[in-house]
């Protein structure tokens, strides 16, 4: 908790955090 993880896209896999899961960039992976 409190540590800020870098947003990064591993080939074929998006790293979700509680902070970025609602970002548009993350949403495209959730809903596509």
For residues 15 and 9, the answer to whether their CB atoms sit within 8 Å is yes
Q: Give the separation between CA 26 and CA 31, rounded to whole angstroms.
A: 9
> What are the residue ranges in the chain where pLDDT is below 50?
none
Enumerate the H helices of the chain as residue ranges.
24-31
Q: What is the pLDDT of residue 13?
A: 57
Q: What is the pLDDT of residue 30?
A: 62
């Amino acid at each position: 908790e409190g540590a800020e993880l870098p947003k990064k896209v591993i080939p074929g896999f998006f790293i979700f955090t509680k902070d970025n899961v609602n970002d548009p960039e993350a949403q495209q992976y959730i809903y596509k």
